[in-house]
């Protein structure tokens, strides 16, 4: 829990004081190096002084990292409440401190036993010495959407099924009149011809779903922006089975759909004044005698036939049907999708930048600006006319894999592009950014990061 008050009170179990080079405090006169922490015990209360170094050169990313490091210090382990004294009253710095607290100290410990005396930061009451401005309260709200996304991605694949995601969405919109729900289950998907989603899911005993929330936050004559998330609740790779070393974290292949849940939560909490569609294309790519096969030719909702070059290129099939259904039935003015789509994007950009593809330079610029403002990073990648040749099929209208080696993230994006039907569109490939393996990176710990939630919340609020 995070709260605000304009003046220091020193009435919590612990006080965290952030100090830049040359800054001092009545209880502490030493100049600390960046990353250095120094505890002072006074009448049973811990004052923890944390060095930020030269604040003129301190990036907001680094500020979040230093806040995270200080709050996770063993000196604050048993504190139930912590007061944070910022080094600056600048709004951007305060928002970064909020994110350092809420995002930096997130922990997934649902299945982990721990000593009752040990308190993770989510168990603590954090008070930040700052006015409770709307921008700060909004930042807390946005971080809660990020945490929801992370919880969904981190949980077991057999827990976060299509039924669970539908239940989550229904819980989010309950009591909210601007939101209306459409859910297509297996029977409805078959009746309407969404055969690509059905094929991907056909070896699974779980129900496939297309979940759509229509959020009316603006005037009726204003267009809808559709936010579409890839929701592979587990991806074995199908008959093109993923090997050991690649399959273990494939519960994260629904991170796009989880991000849509986080964005839906934020839109409702912040009362975003836009007409929005929140879309989850949900399936499980399993193996078995019923699995779809390499070499199959399938025809989806758009009426285009698709040659299956690889059953592990399944997410783009689910999204293709989702795109086609949304375009025909809801006619959005814009579409933005989030998908853990390709390992090739990780090869190209690593783990700190999502790949951004778009058929609109204006939309791409707006999303890149939101990326810079939020530190939810993206890099603009190319779509170009020649790339259409790489996904041609001799036996179908299109192929779900490329005919050349290389440009895997680009050819996957072009496959999606073929199902936009001229709608202004952007694609965020979050394969690398959605999960921090090992001991984490930047100001994220181990596990899901909530990639795309801050970026798109900011975009929806300011464009």
- Catalytic residue annotation: 242, 316
Helix runs in 104-207, H state only = 134-154, 162-173, 186-192, 195-201
Residue 33: DSSP 8-state: P
Residue 235 CA to residue 250 CA, distance in Å, equals 5
Q: DSSP letter at 30?
A: P
Residues whose CB falls within 8 Å of the CB of residue 197, separated by 6 or more in sequence, listed in order: 189, 208, 210, 281, 283, 300, 317, 318, 321, 322
Neighbours of 80 (CB within 10 A): 11
Instruction: Return the residue matching tokens 């090992």.
Output: 438
168: which 2 tokens?
Answer: 């989550």
Specify whether the CB–CB gap between 124 and 79 falls below 8 A.
yes
CA–CA distance, 336 with 351 (Å, rounded to integer)? 21
**Helix axis angle, 91-102 relative to 134-154, nearest 10°?**
30
Sign of the Cα torsion 324, 329, 331, 337 reads negative
Q: Detail the DSSP E strand segments found in 69-144.
A: 81-85, 125-129
What lies within 8 Å, CB to CB, of 86 at 6+ separation is 18, 93, 94, 97, 128, 129, 130
Q: Which helix (H) or strand (E) holds 225?
A: strand 224-235
- As a whole number of angstroms, the distance between CA 235 and CA 129 comes to 45
Q: Encoding tokens for residue 399?
A: 């192929």
Cβ-contact 231, 188 below 8 angstroms = no
From the list 201, 148, 237, the residue with the least C-alpha distance to 448 is: 148
- How far apart CA 403 and CA 411 sit, in angstroms, is 9
Q: What separation in angstroms does the CA of 135 have from each of 69, 178, 278? A: 24, 23, 24
Cα separation, 380 vs 338, in Å, equals: 14
Q: Are 380 and 410 in contact (CB under 8 A)?
A: no
Selection from 215, 288, 195, 263 nearest residue 457 by Cα: 263
For residues 434 and 274, give the distance between their C-alpha atoms in angstroms, rounded to a whole number: 26
Q: Which pair of structure tokens corresponds to residue 405?
A: 């080696």
């Amino acid at each position: 829990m995070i709260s605000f008050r304009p003046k220091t009170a020193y009435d919590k179990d612990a006080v965290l004081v952030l100090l830049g080079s040359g800054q001092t405090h009545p209880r502490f006169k030493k100049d600390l190096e960046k990353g250095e922490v120094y505890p002072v015990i006074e009448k049973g209360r811990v004052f923890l002084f944390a060095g930020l170094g030269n604040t003129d050169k301190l990036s907001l990313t680094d500020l979040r990292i230093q806040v995270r490091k200080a709050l996770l210090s063993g000196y604050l382990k048993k504190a139930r409440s912590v007061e944070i004294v910022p080094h600056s009253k600048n709004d951007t710095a305060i928002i970064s401190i909020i994110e350092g607290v809420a995002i930096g100290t997130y922990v997934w410990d649902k299945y982990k036993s721990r000593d009752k005396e040990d308190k993770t930061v989510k168990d603590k009451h954090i008070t930040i010495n700052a006015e409770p401005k709307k921008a700060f309260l909004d930042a807390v709200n946005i971080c809660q959407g990020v945490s929801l996304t992370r919880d969904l991605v981190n949980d077991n694949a057999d827990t976060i099924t299509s039924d669970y995601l539908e239940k989550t969405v229904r819980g989010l919109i309950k009591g909210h009149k601007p939101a209306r729900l459409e859910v297509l289950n297996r029977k409805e998907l078959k009746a309407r011809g969404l055969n690509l989603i059905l094929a991907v899911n056909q070896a699974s005993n779980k129900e496939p779903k297309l979940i759509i929330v229509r959020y009316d936050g603006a005037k009726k004559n204003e267009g809808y922006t559709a936010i579409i998330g890839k929701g592979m609740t587990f991806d074995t790779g199908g008959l093109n089975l993923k090997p050991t070393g690649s399959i273990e974290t494939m519960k994260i292949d629904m991170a796009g759909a989880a991000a849509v849940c986080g964005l839906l939560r934020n839109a409702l909490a912040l009362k975003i004044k836009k007409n929005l569609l929140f879309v989850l294309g949900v399936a499980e790519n399993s193996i078995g005698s019923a699995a779809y096969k390499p070499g199959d030719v399938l025809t989806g909702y758009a009426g285009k036939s698709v040659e299956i070059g690889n059953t592990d290129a399944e997410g783009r099939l689910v999204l293709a049907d989702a795109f086609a259904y949304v375009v025909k039935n809801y006619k959005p003015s814009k579409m933005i999708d989030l998908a853990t789509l390709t390992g090739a994007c990780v090869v190209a950009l690593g783990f700190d930048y999502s790949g951004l593809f778009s058929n609109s330079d204006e939309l791409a610029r707006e999303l890149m600006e939101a990326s810079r403002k939020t530190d939810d990073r993206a890099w603009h990648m190319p779509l170009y006319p020649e790339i259409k040749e790489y996904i041609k099929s001799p036996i179908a209208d299109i192929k779900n894999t490329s005919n050349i080696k290389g440009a895997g993230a680009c050819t996957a994006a072009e496959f999606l592009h073929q199902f936009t039907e001229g709608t202004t569109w952007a694609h965020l490939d979050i394969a690398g950014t959605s999960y921090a393996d090992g001991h984490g990176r930047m100001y994220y710990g181990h596990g899901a990061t909530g990639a795309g939630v801050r970026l798109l919340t900011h975009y929806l609020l300011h464009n």
